[in-house]
Amino acid sequence: MSDLRKNLRNEFEDSDYRYAYAESFLNTKIAMQIKTLREQRGKKQAEIGVLIGTKQSGFSRFEDVNHSVWKTDTLWKIARALDVRVNIEFSSFGSLIDEKERFSKEQLERPTFRDDPAFRDPEIEKLVTEGELVPAGKSAHSAEVPDLSWLGNSREVASRVVATHLKQEWVNRFASLQSSATAAQSAAGGTALKELAEAKRVAGISPQATEAVVTPRQIQREAEAGNQSASDVNPFRARVRCIDNHRGPIRNRSAVKARGLNRRVRNA
């Protein structure tokens, strides 16, 4: 038996003591969990405050263990802002000791609805396990597209390459840009063109695509000029669509987007 359990067994004989102790711990737990969840989501007090209709100073008191007056509608507002539910239940005093023993930041963390394993699509999970889907922030390209850092930001270059590959008919309309792009590459050195050609070969992209290297911004501009939907020429979406042609459609596409996943770029 732990020292804490032994001590509380005696002290809890007094009902005023045990109720006050339990109330104090509940206040500590709520305050600490709000703080933990906010930090887990990378939010500032002011940001959550806005979501629940209060200022930073007003919200900060919810993260103080001395705050003792909790209104259920406030708890629901905070829960909504943190994308979790509120769970109120009656418990035995004995379980309080277990809670206290396990009390830690990790134990207070909760996933958002989108990250909740209970609601994940098995099909998408399979693709994640197989490495077909990768978190959007972790550069879906770097793993399999050759290093093009000598051209600048590798992600941007990869976007260009993919856009070129999938939207050949689109980028061909940028023939007028070819001269300036080629001039820039030439300025980077004679070997640059050779390396680019090799990169295209490794990535399975037509050598002619070299002529059509354009930035996503240029695609965007062209889309606007042609009254096209910007998303219609978004290289990332186009890439997903292309790979789907080989593997069949993903049923829950919105779930892929919501989880912040990208299709991994694959060599042809």
Partner 1 sequence: MSGWKVYHYLGGIRRDNVVKSWLKNEKISIAQIATFQDKIDTLEKSGPEMVPGFITETTVAKDIHKMKIKGNKGMKQLRPMCCRGPFSTNEYTILAGAIEKDGKLVPSDVKETAQANRKELLADPTRRVHERLTEKSEE
Binding site for partner 1 (CB under 8 A): 4, 7, 11, 14, 16-21, 23-25, 28, 31-32, 35, 63-68, 100-101, 103-105
Cβ of residue 102: shortest distance to partner 1, in angstroms?
Answer: 9
Q: What is the dihedral of CA 246, 218, 215, 198, to 10 degrees?
A: 70
Contact 21, 15 (CB under 8 A): no
Cβ of residue 107: shortest distance to partner 1, in angstroms?
Answer: 10
How far apart, in whole angstroms, are the C-alpha atoms of residue 30 and residue 34? Answer: 6
Residue placing its CB nearer to partner 1 in the complex, 5 or 80:
5
The Cβ of residue 155 has, within 10 Å, a number of other Cβ atoms equal to: 14
DSSP element (H, E) containing 133: strand 133-135
Residue placing its CB nearer to partner 1 in the complex, 97 or 161:
97
Within its chain, how far is the Cα of 10 from the centroid?
49
Of 76, 75, 81, 83, whose CA–CA distance to 51 is shortest? Answer: 81
Question: Regarding beta strands 261-263 and 133-135, do their DSSP bridges make them parallel or antiparallel, or are they unpaired?
Answer: antiparallel
Residue placing its CB nearer to partner 1 in the complex, 61 or 126:
61
Residue placing its CB nearer to partner 1 in the complex, 99 or 132:
99
Cβ of residue 78: shortest distance to partner 1, in angstroms?
Answer: 15
The Cβ of residue 238 has, within 10 Å, a number of other Cβ atoms equal to: 19
Cβ of residue 66: shortest distance to partner 1, in angstroms?
Answer: 4
Residue placing its CB nearer to partner 1 in the complex, 23 or 115:
23
Token pair, residue 215, equals 């930035």
Residue placing its CB nearer to partner 1 in the complex, 49 or 146:
49
Burial class (CB in 10 A: 0-12, 13-18, 19+), 169: exposed
Cβ of residue 195: shortest distance to partner 1, in angstroms?
Answer: 51
Cβ of residue 88: shortest distance to partner 1, in angstroms?
Answer: 20
